[in-house]
Each structure stands twice: as C-alpha cells, then as structure tokens.
Structure 1
Amino acid sequence: MSVMHKVFANLYQDSVSLMQISAQISKLSGIEQASVVMGTETNLAQLRDAGLDDGCKAGPNDLIIAVRGEADACAEALEIAHQRLNSKPQDNDADGPRAPQLVSLEMAAEQQADINLALISVPGDYAAAEAIKALNLGMNVMLFSDNVSLAQEKQIKLLAQRKNRLVMGPDCGTAIINGLPLGFANVVKAGSIGIVGASGTGLQEVSCRIDQLGAGISQALGTGGHDLHEEIGGISMLHGLQALASDPATQVIVLISKPPARPVAERILERAQACGKPVVVNFLGAAPEEVSRTGVTAAATLADAAGLAVALANGQPAADSVTLIPHQDVEMLQQASACLPATRRAIRGVFAGGTFCYEGQLLCQQQGFIAASNTPVKGNAKLADIWRSQGHTLIDMGDDDFTRGRPHPMIDPTLRNQRIVAELNDAETAVVLFDLVLGYGAAAEPASELLTLLSQHQSQNGPLLIAHVCGTEADPQQRSRQVAALRQAGVLVAGCNAEAALWASQIAHIQAEKNGETA
C-alpha cells in the first residue's frame, strides 16, 4: 500500500465540498482511504492518526489531498481531486462582464449592502474571528464550523445578543431560512410551523415529518449542540424563539434539544409560555411533567413533536403518540421474526444521525434494553471498543470517533454500510436498526450501495433489518424511491426514527420470549 499527498498553497474550499471530494475519490477501486482537508494543526494530527501522513508539510491556508491504497489508484485519485478543485462553475454569460470574486465578508457587504446572513464554514481555529467580523458588519451568522471552544461560543453569542442578531452554531449543520435550505437540510413545503433546534438531524426529522403530514415550515433555525449548556445559557434558542414569536407567518413553534441544564430549561420554558403562540417542546428524554405548562406541550419523540405541531396548526386533536405500537405492527413483527433462531437476541443500531442514535437509545432503554454506545445516554454503557459491538449496541457513526480523516456518513456511507454488514454477520444479532438521511449535501443514492452489499450477505435465518428514511418527496433523492428500494430488498421501513427503535425493541422482546426470558 502507498500513501500519497498533494498540497495546494493558499487554496480554500468549504468543508462540505471537501467531504464530497473525499467521498468521490474514496470510492475508486484500489483506494483504502482518502481525505481532503485544510492544513490546520488539528487536521494534520487527524491525518497522522488515520495513517495518511507521509511527511506532509502544509500551513493552515493550504489544502491537502491525502490518499492510501495501490500506487496507481492513489495517483488517479490525486488527479481527479485536482480536477475537481480546479473546475469552474458554468458561466451563463461567458462573454459578459464578470462580478469580482468576493474574498472577505467586508467585500461582500460593500458589494451588496442588504446582505444580512453569513454562512461560515472555515476551520475551527478561525471560525470565531469570522463570526465576530460578520456580527460587527450587521449580519446574522450560521456557523457550520465546529471545534470552537465554549468560551469562544459564549463571546460570539454575547456579542450577537448585544447587536440583536442570531447566531446558529457553532457546529450548526441544518437550517431553512425563508425557504432556502442551508447545510444538510431537506426540501420541505412552506407553512406556518417554525422550529428552533439544537440538533441538526432532530431538526431534519421534525421538518420532514411535518412535510409528510401535509403541513409546512415557516423557518427552521439551528442553534448548535452546545447552546443549551449552562455556560452558554440558550442564547440562540431564546433569540430564535423570540424571532418566531414575532413572525406573522409562524403560528406554532417547535423547540428541540437534548435535556438542557435545568436553569436553562426553566428560562426557555418561561419564555415559551409567555411568547403568545402555542409551543411544542421535545427535550429528548425529559419527563413530560417537567416541560408541560399552559401554552407549552411536551412531545415524547421527534415524530410526536411534528404531529402535535401539525395538529395545533390545523386546530385538530393530536393523533396517538408513535410510542403506541398498533396491534397490526406487533403481528407483522412476530411474523417477520418467526424464523429467527432464539440465539439471535441483540439489537444493533448503526446510525448516521447522532440524534437518531440518542433517541433510539432512550426508547430501547424505556422498553427494558440497556445498550452500549460510543455516545451513551444516561444509564447506558460506554462501548469499550467502538469497532466491536457487545450485546445490545447502538452506534453513532457520525461521531468524531469515526469521522476523523473521513467524510461524514451522510455524505459517504461506505464505513457505515460496512458496519451494518459486520452486524449482520454477528451470530448474536437479531435486528439491525439504521437510518438513511436525505437532502442537500447527503449521498445521491444512499440505498443503492448498501443494498448491493446486503444482497451478498443476507441469509434465510439472518437478522432482520429495520430502516427509517429521513427525507421528503421533493429531496433530490426522493424519499419514496429510497423506501421502495429498501422494501424490495426485504428491509422493514418504519415511518419515523422512534417507530423504528420501538420495532427493534419489539423484536428483541419476541426473541427473549423464545428463551423464556423478559427484557
């Protein structure tokens, strides 16, 4: 195996573009691993950890292509990445005057004075400074970048608070502003429901579910995962809540987060109660009695949050919670698991979405199944070896454990698909639970590569597969097409992440009964 690299001095591209190039060249025959990153100290360290450093010398403003594999394949990968990086967008008026290339926020503000939002996707070492520049220019900020310290995040958000501006992030991967999807977002119908979410995939799940129920989104605002920490105090969520309360197009508001620090939760719930509009709150794992109050409705799951919001927007009674499994579903799962040997007892979850893994753990736990994870919820165990499952195991493949030097599995699902196959080949596995996340930035055909692998590994008495597809009909990947492909391959497709986790738990109960046990 060879390791090769190429450095481009003073060349910058945003992280999503780099992950997409990494994904493209990673799929070349003969390539074992590939990474396209900026030459920051953090990225250089990650290249070393991934075995992709062959003496690479680069500065933070330089772009690095690093590959490992067969020598000819590495050379081809470097050339393809080089071509992608140097390709120019099609110019609709090649003979006409060209606008000057914008090289700074200041230049953008000078060229177009009404710009009021900056999307920042630079290495974390520089992200805070760029966010502060944007705020001082009067812009709101979507900070896609991660690796920003809590101290820097607090500094940025206190400045935004003084300037009455919104900061989405750091590590904000999803937003929909005035109908425009930003980051990993989906194509949803316009409507009267506004969302503020501290979770990217949680925000995607709720917005897609609202779309599937026939309603639409006014705005979907991300906050970043650390906003509700006690040190930050929920500054962005409180600002987003107030903005939606003042928005004439928004009739119902949804708030999504893992359980905040208690003082932060109380502050947010007090503001929600006083905002003058119905608010649905899903603090994942929080007791409903701690959340509900006049004007504020607690939702047990992400899907329930969407259902409650649509019911409120339509002036209709809420449907039953998705946590109540219909009798016909129980019968279907009993039939599906009839051929499973009693020795197959374990739930194995392999997720691209971190919030889906979190919610799945909570629901399995409520059904009596304590699981191991690389990102365990309270009461679950930390997985000793992230590459080897033990008993019931639910893995977040989008966590830093698995993405150092690799694209996120929503962009390139190769590593995640390999883990699914590994779980299928484990004699303990009763059911493999997984998600497919659609939308902008995600893999073009997320089901196809997985189904090719599954066709090579499924056996008559092998584990069941349960999937949840987060997306809409208007997404580039078209949700119904992905669902149909999965079902044709024998995968059980649930309507939402919570339902998928409950189905998996039901199968584990059935397997336990075969052994004369309870969960």
Structure 2
Amino acid sequence: MSTKVVIKQSTYFDSVSLMSLSTKANQIEGVEQAVIAMGTDMNKEVLKNVGLLTPELEAAKTSDLMIVVKAATDELCESALIAIEELFKKKGGSKSATEIKYSTIDSAAASIPEANLAVISVNGAFAAREARKALENDLHVMLFSDNVSIEEEIALKQFAHEKGLLMMGPDCGTAIIGNVALCFGNAVRKGNIGIVGASGTGSQEVSVRIHDFGGGITQLIGTGGRDLSEQVGGIMMLDGIKALEEDEATKVIVLISKPPAASVQEKVLAQVKSCKKPVVVYFIGGEETPVLEAGGHFAKTSKEAAIKAVVLAGANEDELNKRALNWPLIEEVRAKLTPEQKYVRGLFCGGTLCDEAMYLAMDKYEDVYSNIQKKADYKLKNIHESKAHTFLDMGDDDFTNGKPHPMIDPSTRIARFLEEAKDPSVGVILMDFILGFGSHEDPVGVMLPAILEAKANAAKEGRHLEILGYVLGTDLDTPNFDEQVKKLMDAGVTIASSSTNAGLLAREFVAKGE
C-alpha cells in the first residue's frame, strides 16, 4: 500500500468546497482513501485517527492545503493526484470570466462601494478577524465559518449592533437576502414574510412551506446556532426582528429556533410584544403560553408556522391546501407491518428536520432516542447503535468530524441506512432529501441503489420495509423537485409533503392497535 502527500502552502479553500472535492477524490479509480483539507489541528487529528498523519503533514500550517492519497501502488497514487489537480482546475474554471478576485476585504470594499454584505467562509482561526474587517467597512456579515470562540462571537455581534449592521453567524449556513439565497438555501418567490432563524434547515423548511402555500419571502436572516444561548443573549435575533419590523416590504415575521435559554426567550418575547407587526414563533419543542402572553402566534410545527404566516400575510385559510395526513395510507402501511416491526429509524441530513420528527414521536412514545436528545436518559451513548425509535442528525458533529456533511456526501448515511434496514424490529425508515444551493446535485439518485437493495432484501425475508422520504425543495429549485420525487416513488418510497407530515406519518405507521 502506498501513500502520497502534497502540501500547498498558503492555499485556502473553504470547507464546503474541500468536502465536495474529497468526495470526488475518493471516487477516483484505485483510490482507497483520499483526504483534502486545510492544515488545522482538527484535520490533523482526523488524519491521525485514520493512520495517514505523517511528519510532513504534522508540520503543515493552518493556511496550508493538505492532499493525502492512499492506494495500492505508487503509480495509482500519482495517477490520483493528477486527477485531483484536474478537479481543482475544473473548480477554478467554473468561475465567470468577468469575476474579479480581491486579496482583502478592504480592497474589495474600496472597489465595490455599493456592496453592503460580505459572505465569509475562511479558516476559523481567521474568521473573526475577517468578519470584523467587514463590519469596519460597514458591511453586513454572513459568517459561514465555525470554530469561532463564543467570546469572539459576542464581541462581533455587539460591534455590529452598535453600527446598525447584521452579524449573521458564526456557523450560519442559511440566509436569503434581497431574494438571493446564500450558502445553503432554496429558490423561493419574493413576498411579504420575513424570517429570523437560528436553525438552518428549519429556516429552509419554513421558507419552502411558505412558498408551497402561495406566500413569499422578503428576507431570511440567519443568526448562527449559538445566538439564543445564555452567553450570546440573542443579539442577532433581536436585531433581526428590529430590521424586519423596519422593513416596509415585510408584513409578517417568523422566528425559528430550538428552545432558547430562559432569559433569552424572555428578551425575545418582550420584543415580540412590542413589535408592531404580527410575529409567528416556532421554537421547536417550546411552550405555547409564554408566546401567547407576549401577543405572538405560537406554532408547534414548521407547517403550522408557515400556514399561520401566510394567513397573517393575507392568504385565505379556507383556500389553502394544508396537505392533511392520509389516514387510508396509514392504515394500509400498518396492515403490512408485522407486530415485531414497532420502531421508526430516522436518518437526517437536516438537524431541525430531525428535531421536529423526534419531538412528534415523543408526543406519542417514550422510548425515543437520538444523538441530539435533550433528555439524558434517551441520548444515545453509542451513536453507531440504534435503540427503539431512533432519530439521527447525521449532520451533527458526532458524524461529520473530519467528514463531509451528508448534504454533500451521503456515503455515511447510505451505510447506516443499509444497516438499519436489516433490523427486523424496524417498520419505517425516514429520510430527508434537501435540494437547493449548496446541496448534493442528485441527493435522491445516490440513495436509490441502497433503497432498492434494502427493499429487495426485506422482501426475501418476507417482511415489508416502509421507506418514507421527504424532499425539501420547491418547483424553482435545482435539481428539479418533481424529478427527485418521481425517482423515490418509482423505487417504492412513500413521499411526505412536509417535514411535519413526515414526522407524523412515521410515528403513525408503527402505531399498534389503533
């Protein structure tokens, strides 16, 4: 076995690009393993864990690009390195001929004085510095980078607040500003509903459901996942509410988050109470009473949040197709499952989609486990072993440390899916397929061979395996929404019309004696 290493000094690529390139590199013929990553301590630890760390790689700086290839022979390694170089060339060649590169934020701001927003995706060690430079240039910031300390986050958000700017992030993966989706986002129509979200896929889901119900979005302001923590204090969500309240085009505001810290929720709801526009509050797993007391409109699910938003924005509720649950289908699936098939297994790319399905299952069952469970007794001690009803956020750090996010590279989810499909106690496997900017070019297509294999194996054993899929996307998205749905249906997958319905169907399919 041969291993070849290339280190490109002072060569930076963002993590999303490198994850995508690593995925393609591992598909090169003859390659046993390939890693393309920046020279950070975390990435070196990953290389060490898989036995690929060399003294040369150990000495790489955080600003250096590391390329490692393992193959059967030196010749195969060299051939793979040439192919990887071609991948980099293709990535560079895809840029517009009119695109201009700037070496610093200062030079970019000086050359484009009309610019008012910077999207930053750099090594976490430099992210806070670059974000501050952007703020100093009076630019709103979307900071995709993570590995930014909470102290730096607080300082950046306080500085932005003082300047009247938005500081979205760190670790902010979704926004729609001026009808342009940034990082991970979907193509939705322009409308009169604004969103402030501390949850990426949750914000995507609500924006897509609003589109589905005939509404549209003015702005979708991301906050980053830690914004509503006790330490950060909800600075960005509070500023986001204010920004949308002052925006003439926005008539209704939707807030999306996992339950905030108690003191932060009080501050947010106090601002909801003083807001002159109607505010829909979707705090996943949150309580209704505090929201109602603040004059807000409580939503238990993402679908309910979207329905309330479009109705408040002017839609006639009686004319909406709310896509009610298909109870005849539920009875049909129940009849196909054996008494032993009692459990749901959810394998999710989207953390909030996982959360929603998990909370809906918890409304009906006690034995609901997850890698993101808040209840300690039901948090998986070993993420590689499912128990009873298990819902996995496969985009969580538990699964992505040193590996691509499943929205980019689904190989980890495919392997887990095939494993879960063998369990005779499993009646339903629920999966999401996320379309839009930044996602896999064919998220359904890459899963189809595994789906067909699992169904065939179950049939040989004389049992029905119900595979339930939800495609998060719109008719405006790429890849084509209808084509992705058709591929799943042709493979015998049941389709849910929303994240909410996916969770409800999954839990009802395995309900016994009802």
Match of 2:84 among 81, 85, 93: 81
**Residue 62 (structure 1) aligns with:** 64
Separation in 2 of the partners of 1:296 and 1:114? 37
Q: How does 1:257-406 map to 2 (within 5 A)?
A: 257-293=257-293, 295-317=295-317, 326=325, 329-378=326-375, 381-406=378-403
CA deviation vs aligned residue, 1:232-284 (integer Å, no higher than 9, x gap) = 11100111111111111111110000011112111111212222111111000
Deviation at 1:90, TM superposition (A): 5.8
Whole-angstrom CA distance in 1 between matches of 2:104 and 2:291: 44
2:13 aligned counterpart, secondary structure: coil
Change (3 A) 1:376 1:68: farther
Distance 2:278 2:189 in 1: 20
Distance 1:92 1:401 in 2: 37
Q: Name the CA distance, whole Å, in 2 between partners of 1:213 and 1:321.
A: 7
In 2: Cα distance, 1:47 partner to 1:505 partner: 40
- Aligned partner letter, 1:433: L
Name the CA distance, whole Å, in 1 between partners of 2:147 and 2:388: 33
* Partners of 1:369 and 1:392 within 8 A in 2: no
The residue that corresponds to 1:464 in the other structure is 466
CA contact (8 A) 2:192 2:251 kept: yes
2:345 alignment partner, SS class: strand
Q: Provide the residue aligned with 1:474 in structure 2.
A: 476
- Pick the aligned partner of 1:485 from 479, 484, 487: 487
**Structure 1's 145 and 425: CA in aligned 2 closer, same or farther, altered over 3 A?**
same
Deviates more, 1:416-425 or 1:191-200: 416-425
Alpha-carbon distance in 1 for matches of 2:76, 2:346: 33
Contact 1:3 1:53 in 2 (8 A): no
- The alignment partner of 1:186 has SS state of coil
Partner of 1:411: 408
The whole-number CA distance in structure 1 between the counterparts of 2:78 and 2:304 is 50
2:511 pairs with 1:509:
yes
What are the residue-to-residue correspondences of 1:446-457 with 2, within 5 Å?
A: 446-457=443-454
Could you tell me which residue of structure 1 aligns to residue 28 of structure 2?
28
Structure 1 residue 99: Cα displacement: 7.5
Q: Cα gap change, 1:489/1:292 in structure 2, threshold over 3 Å: closer, same or farther?
A: same
Structure 2 CA distance for aligned equivalents of residues 193 and 140 of structure 1: 20
Conserved 8 A contact 1:153-1:232: yes
Aligned to 2:112: 112
On the 8 A contact 2:166/2:240 being kept in 1, the answer is yes
One-letter amino acid of the structure 1 residue matched with residue 273 of structure 2: Q
1:375 alignment partner, SS class: coil
| Counterpart-to-counterpart distance in 2, 1:299 and 1:80 | 50
Aligned to 2:48: 48
Match of 1:443 in 2: 440
| Deviation of the 1:13 alpha carbon | 1.6
Distance in 2 (CA, whole Å) between partners of 1:230 and 1:210 is 30
Distance in 2 of aligned mates of 1:51 and 1:211: 48
Q: 1:172, 1:347 → 2: CA distance?
A: 30
Q: How does 1:2-13 map to 2 (within 5 A)?
A: 2-13=2-13
Matches within 5 A, 1:205-284: 205-284=205-284
Q: Distance in 2 between matches of 1:235 and 1:225?
A: 12
Aligned to 1:101: 101
Q: Which amino acid aligns with 2:241?
A: L
More displaced stretch, 32-41 vs 433-442: 32-41
Work out the CA distance in 2 between the residues paired with 1:381 and 1:203: 26
Distance in structure 1 (CA, Å) of the matches to 2:77 and 2:176: 38
Q: Which residue of 1 aligns with 2:198?
A: 198
Q: 1:349 offset after TM fit, Å?
A: 0.7
CA distance in 2, matches of 1:238, 1:185: 22
In the alignment, the residues of structure 1 paired with residue 447 and residue 42 of structure 2 have an alpha-carbon distance, to the nearest angstrom, of: 31
Alignment of 1:422-433 (within 5 A): 422-433=419-430
Instruction: Give 1:58's aligned amino acid.
Output: A
Distance 1:452 1:228 in 2: 41
Checking the alignment, whether the CA contact within 8 Å between 1:171 and 1:224 is kept in structure 2 is: yes
Given the superposition, is the C-alpha separation of residues 226 and 350 from structure 1 closer, same or farther in structure 2, using an over 3 Å criterion? same
State the SS of the aligned residue for 1:292: helix
Instruction: Indicate the percent of aligned positions where both proteins have the same amino acid.
Output: 41
Alignment of 1:142-221 (within 5 A): 142-221=142-221
Residues 301, 32 of structure 1: CA spacing in aligned structure 2 closer, same or farther, 3 A cutoff?
farther
Separation in structure 2 between the aligned mates of residue 379 and residue 483 of structure 1, nearest angstrom: 37
Aligned partners of 2:201 and 2:352 also within 8 Å = yes
2: CA distance, partners of 1:509 / 1:320: 29
Number of aligned pairs?
505
Q: Is the 8 A contact 2:367 2:388 kept in 1?
A: no
Cα distance, 1:331 vs. partner? 2.3
The Cα of 1:89 is off from its aligned counterpart by 3.0
One-letter amino acid matched to 1:89 = G
Amino acid at match of 1:183: C
1:53 to partner: Cα distance: 2.2
More deviation in 273-282 or 289-298? 289-298
Question: Given the superposition, is the C-alpha separation of residues 485 and 171 from structure 1 closer, same or farther in structure 2, using an over 3 Å criterion?
Answer: same
388-397 or 451-460, larger mean C-alpha shift: 451-460
Partner Cα distance (1:91, 1:149) in 2: 33
Q: TM-score, normalised by structure 2?
A: 0.93
Query: What CA distance in whole angstroms lies between the structure 2 residues aligned with 1:191 and 1:357?
Result: 28
Deviations 1:426-455 (A, max 9, x none): 222111011001111111111112111222
| Aligned-partner Cα distance in 2 for 1:128–1:92 | 29
Deviates most, 75-84 or 487-496: 75-84
**Does structure 1 retain, via aligned residues, the 8 Å contact 2:334–2:510?**
no
